[in-house]
Chain A
Amino acid sequence: MRDHLGRPLVAVTGMGLVTPLGFGREESWQGLLAGRSGIRRITRFPTGHLKTTIAGQVTLPGEEALASPERVERMAELAAAEAVEQAGIGGRFPGPLFLGMPPVEVEWPQRLDLARAGAGYPAMIAAATGRLGLFETFLFGGIGERLAERFGTRGAPVSVTTACATGASAIQLGLEAIQRGEAAAALCIGAEGSVAPEPLVRFSLLAALSTRNDEPERASRPFERTREGFVLSEGAAALVLESLEAAEARGAEVLGLVLGAGERADSFHRTRSNPDGGAIIGAMRAAIADAGIEPAQIGYVNAHGTGTPENDKMETLGMRAVFGEAPPPISSNKSMIGHTLSAAGAIEAVASLLTIRDGMLPPTINHEVPDPAIPLDVVPNAARPAKVERVLSNSFGFGGQNVCLVLGAAP
C-alpha cells in the first residue's frame, strides 16, 4: 500500500475521455487502436484568410452559441461524469478537484456585441458593466467553481496551466495531494476548447501548425520525415485517483497506478528546448526515479509527439539519453487526435492506462517516410499487441514546461 518512499500508492479507479474520435472512453480508445484520424476541415466558423483550416473538433450540442470556456466546461463535465461513474462514486466526490485548462478571456462574439454601442474600450465597458453572466463565464476561476459544484468535490478547486503539459500537471497535483495525505481521492481533469479563429492565427504566427489543409487526416505526422507542425485539437480527459488503500477498502476496481511524476523547467527559450535536451531528459529521469524503477522497466512510452520538427527531434534525443541504444516503443496519440494542448497530458495518461489494460500499443499513423534522425520504434501505422506493465507519458510545453508521468498496471 506504500511506495518506495513510504508514500501511499495511488490508484486510478475511473477514467473518462472526450476526443475528436468520440464521446466516451471506449469509443475514443477504439478509434486510437484502429488508427483512425479525427482531424477534419474546420466547420464551426469561417476559415477564409486562415493559413490552417483543419483541426480536431468535438461537436457539442448547441455549440454555435458556446464560448471557449463554456466548451471547456462541457467537455470536462462529460469526461468527469464518465470517470466518476466508472469509479462507482455516487454523491459528493470525496476529494479535491484539480483542473488543467487553458487561459480564458472575453472573446470576439462578445467583444463585437459590446462594441455595437461604440467600438472603444470605454464604451464597451459601459455596455458590459454589471453583466454578471459575462463575468462568471470569463473569470479564470469560473470553470473550476462550477465543476466543483457539479461533482461536489471537497475544498477549493485548483486550476493549473503549464501550456502543453497542463493535463499532466493536473494529475501530478492530485498524485501529490494523496501522497501528502491531504486527500484520499482526487478528481483530475485536463480540458481544452481553443479551436477558434484567434488561437489558430496565434499559433500560425508562431509557425507551429501544419498547413496540410487538403489532407486533414494525413496532416498530423509525428516522428515522420515530412512533418511540418501540429494540428490544433480539443477534448477532455478525467481520472479519479484514490489511495490504493481507500480504493481497496471500498471494493473499487483498480484500473492502474500512478507510480510517479517528474518535472523540470527549461530556461533556454520561450518555444524551444535547450539543444542539450537537459530539461526533457531531467523530467523523464525524475519521473522514473520518482516511481522507484529503472528505465529498463518502462515497456512503452506515450509520446508528447506533436509533429513539429523541433519537438520530435528533442523527444528523440531524450529517448536515446534516458533509454540508451534500445529504447522501448514510443507512439503518438496526436497523430490521430491532434494536439489537445491543455487536455493532452490527461488524455494520454488515460490512453497509457488503456494500453496496459488491453496489451495493445496504439500506433503513430501517417508514418510514410521514416526520418533517419529518429531511430525509434514509433509503432508505425498499426496497433500492436504487447504486454506492458509500465508506461512513461511525456508532456512538454511552451515556456519550458516538462512533465512526465509513470503509469503502471494494477497490483
Chain B
Amino acid sequence: MSEAVWITGIGLASSLGEGVEVHRMALREAGLRPVVDETGFAPFPIHPMPALAFDAQIPKKGDQRQMEPWQRLGTYAAGLALDHAGARGLVGDMHLLVAAGGGERDVALDEAICAELAALPPEEAGALLNERLANGLRPTLFLAQLSNLLAGNISIVHGVTGSSRTFMGEEAAGAEAVRIAAARLAEGRGEVALVGGAYVAGRWDMLLLFSTSGGLWRGPWAPLAERPGGGMVTGSIGAFLVLETERHARARGARGLALLGAARRGAARRRGEDSARASAAALAEGLALRPGHAVISGASGAPEALAEERAFLASLAGAGPVRFTADLLGHGVEASFPASLALGALAIAEGLAAQALVTGFGLWRGEALAMLEEA
C-alpha cells in the first residue's frame, strides 16, 4: 500500500443497540450476555433487531417505506458511520462499497401461495402462480429487497455518490468490499470510502436458506465454544466503516481510530490440502503480527470452519485472547466481516489492544484476514 488507510468512523447497530458506546462496553465486559430471541423463530435462536429511531438517520418516511428491514438497518448504520467520522461533508466524492445478500421476501404471500399451489400438478400451478404473484406482490417490494438497493438507498438518503459497488457471496462479500475499498484508497483513487453491510436475522426466508446447510443452531443460546457439534446463530447487524487515507484525515483533523494495515482474502476449496487453514496461513504470510495481538474472530459457528480457524490461530506465534463477534452480536453473514473490523478498531481505539487480527472464515467458503494497528 502506498497511502496509509485509517478507519475514521464506525457505524454499528445490532441487537445490543446502536453506536460505538454500547459496543465498546460489550468488548470490555468479558461475560456479557447477548440479546437473544429464543422464541420468535424457534427452534432457532436469533439476535433481534434493536429498537431504532429510524427518523434520526432516514428522515423521510417515504424513504423508509421503500426499504425492507435490512436496507433500513444498513442505511441507518451507514449514517452512524458518517456522523462518527464527521464525514457528512465528504459524501459527494466518497466511494461506496456494500456487501449484500438478498431474501426479505413477502413471507405471508409466499406461505399463502404455497398453501394453495403445492398440491397442484405443475401445469396447473404455473398459471395460477402468475396470477397470485401479479395480484399479491407489492410494487415496492422488488426494489426493497434488491441486493444493490442498500447502496442505492445510502446514495439517496446520505448523498454518497463517488461510486457504488455491491459485492455478493455471503461472508466473503464483506471482506471483498473492505479489501477493494482499502486498495483503491491506497493507490490514490479517492480519499474516503464508506464500506459495510447489513443483515436481519429474524427472517424465515433467510433461515430457510441457511437451514439447508444443516448448520443452524437449535434450542437455547450458548456461546460459540459451548455448542456441541457446532451451529450458527444469526444476528441482526448493520455495520459500516469510514475508511480514509491518513493524509486526508490528518488534513481535516479527523481522528484515526485504527490503521488498516492489511485486508486480504482467499478461497480454499476446503478439500484435502486445499484447506481453510492453509488458505489463511498463506494470507497471514508477511503480516507483522506481534505477540499478544488481539484476535477478533468472525467465526459463524460452523464446526468444520471453526476447527480450521482454531488450527490456523494455533499456528500463529503469540496470538492473544480470541473474541468471537458472533458471541456478542450473532453471525451477520455479509455484515460479519465489517462488524468484526469495527469491533477490532474499537478495541484499538480504546487501548484494549495495540494490534488486532480480524478473521473471517465463511460458513461455506472464503477466508479473510485484516490487521489493525494503532493509528
Binding site for B on A (CB under 8 A): 45-51, 101, 103-106, 108-109, 111-116, 119-122, 124-125, 128-132, 134-136, 138-142, 144-145, 148-149, 155-163, 169, 173, 176, 180, 182, 197-198, 201-206, 263-271, 279, 397-401
Q: Is the CB of A158 within 8 A of B365?
A: no
Q: Is the CB of B146 within 8 A of A169?
A: no
Q: Which one of A115, A125, A180 lies within 8 Å of B115 (CB-CB)?
A: A115
Contacts of B134 in A (CB 8 A): 49-51, 201, 204-205
Q: Which one of A112, A132, A141 lies within 8 Å of B362 (CB-CB)?
A: A141
Q: Which of B131-173 contact A (CB under 8 A)?
A: 131, 133-134, 137-139, 141-143, 146-149, 151-153, 155-156, 159-170, 172-173
Distance in angstroms between the alpha carbons of A411 and B115 in the assembled complex: 62
Q: Is the CB of B267 within 8 A of A279?
A: no
Contacts of A101 in B (CB 8 A): 168
Q: Is the CB of A140 within 8 A of B169?
A: yes
Residues 109-149 of B, flagged 1 when their CB comes within 8 A of A and 0 if not, give: 01100110111001101110111011001110111001111
Since A124-B208, A139-B170, A159-B173 are in contact, a sample of 5 more A-B pairs with Cβ atoms closer than 8 Å, ordered by chain A residue number, is A116-B118, A138-B209, A156-B176, A398-B149, A401-B152
Q: Which of B83-126 contact A (CB under 8 A)?
A: 96, 100-103, 105, 107, 110-111, 114-115, 117-119, 122-123, 125-126
Binding site for A on B (CB under 8 A): 66, 96, 100-103, 105, 107, 110-111, 114-115, 117-119, 122-123, 125-127, 129-131, 133-134, 137-139, 141-143, 146-149, 151-153, 155-156, 159-170, 172-173, 176, 180, 183-184, 187, 189, 204-205, 207-214, 216, 265-267, 269, 362, 364-366
Contacts of A134 in B (CB 8 A): 212
CB A207 to nearest CB in B, in angstroms, measures 9
Mind listing 8 A-B residue pairs with CB under 8 Å?
A103-B168, A129-B214, A139-B209, A162-B165, A267-B156, A270-B143, A399-B146, A399-B155
Q: Which one of A48, A138, A180 lies within 8 Å of B183 (CB-CB)?
A: A180
Distance in angstroms between the alpha carbons of A155 and B162 in the assembled complex: 28
Contacts of A160 in B (CB 8 A): 165-168
Distance in angstroms between the alpha carbons of A176 and B180 in the assembled complex: 10
Distance in angstroms between the alpha carbons of A266 and B161 in the assembled complex: 6
Q: Is the CB of A132 within 8 A of B214?
A: yes
Contacts of B122 in A (CB 8 A): 109
Distance in angstroms between the alpha carbons of A389 and B149 in the assembled complex: 36
Distance in angstroms between the alpha carbons of A122 and B115 in the assembled complex: 13
Q: Is the CB of B146 within 8 A of A398?
A: yes
Chain A binding surface SS class: mixed
Contacts of A128 in B (CB 8 A): 208, 211-212
Best-buried of B166, B170, B210, B212 by chain A (most CB within 10 Å): B212
Q: Is the CB of A400 within 8 A of B152?
A: yes
Q: Is the CB of A115 within 8 A of B142?
A: no
Distance in angstroms between the alpha carbons of A201 and B103 in the assembled complex: 17
Contacts of A176 in B (CB 8 A): 184, 189
Q: Knowing A50-B134, A159-B167, A204-B134, say if A124 contacts B161 (CB, 8 Å).
A: no
Q: Knowing A201-B130, A267-B155, say if A119 contacts B115 (CB, 8 Å).
A: yes
Q: Knowing A135-B213, A144-B169, A156-B176, say if A265 contacts B143 (CB, 8 Å).
A: no
CB A127 to nearest CB in B, in angstroms, measures 9
CB A333 to nearest CB in B, in angstroms, measures 22
Q: Is the CB of B212 within 8 A of A132?
A: yes
Contacts of B267 in A (CB 8 A): 145, 148, 155-157
Q: Is the CB of B148 within 8 A of A162?
A: yes
Q: Which one of B111, B163, B204, B207 lies within 8 Å of A264 (CB-CB)?
A: B163
Q: Knowing A105-B105, A141-B366, A156-B266, say if A135 contacts B118 (CB, 8 Å).
A: no
Contacts of B169 in A (CB 8 A): 139-141, 144, 157-159
Contacts of B170 in A (CB 8 A): 139-141
CB B296 to nearest CB in A, in angstroms, measures 20
CB-based closest 10 A-B pairs: A399-B152, A141-B169, A121-B204, A115-B114, A46-B126, A48-B127, A156-B267, A119-B115, A130-B214, A135-B212
Q: Is the CB of B155 within 8 A of A49?
A: no
CB A310 to nearest CB in B, in angstroms, measures 15
Q: Which one of A48, A104, A119, A400 lies within 8 Å of B155 (CB-CB)?
A: A400
Contacts of A113 in B (CB 8 A): 118
Contacts of A122 in B (CB 8 A): 204
Distance in angstroms between the alpha carbons of A157 and B204 in the assembled complex: 29
CB B195 to nearest CB in A, in angstroms, measures 14
Q: Knowing A141-B169, A156-B172, say if A265 contacts B148 (CB, 8 Å).
A: no
Q: Is the CB of A46 within 8 A of B266?
A: no
Distance in angstroms between the alpha carbons of A51 and B130 in the assembled complex: 10
Contacts of A136 in B (CB 8 A): 364
Q: Is the CB of A399 within 8 A of B167?
A: no
Q: Is the CB of B130 within 8 A of A49?
A: yes
Q: Is the CB of B146 within 8 A of A129?
A: no
CB A302 to nearest CB in B, in angstroms, measures 21
Q: Is the CB of B165 within 8 A of A197?
A: no
Distance in angstroms between the alpha carbons of A158 and B266 in the assembled complex: 11
Q: Is the CB of B117 within 8 A of A112?
A: yes
Q: Is the CB of A103 within 8 A of B159?
A: no
Distance in angstroms between the alpha carbons of A136 and B125 in the assembled complex: 26
Q: Is the CB of B126 within 8 A of A267?
A: no
Residue of A at shortest CB range from B368?
Answer: A156
Contacts of A205 in B (CB 8 A): 134, 137-139, 142
Contacts of A131 in B (CB 8 A): 212
Distance in angstroms between the alpha carbons of A346 and B122 in the assembled complex: 35
Contacts of B153 in A (CB 8 A): 270, 399
Q: Knowing A51-B134, A270-B156, A399-B148, say if A265 contacts B96 (CB, 8 Å).
A: yes
Distance in angstroms between the alpha carbons of A63 and B114 in the assembled complex: 23
Residue of B at shortest CB range from A399?
Answer: B152
Q: Is the CB of B147 within 8 A of A103?
A: yes
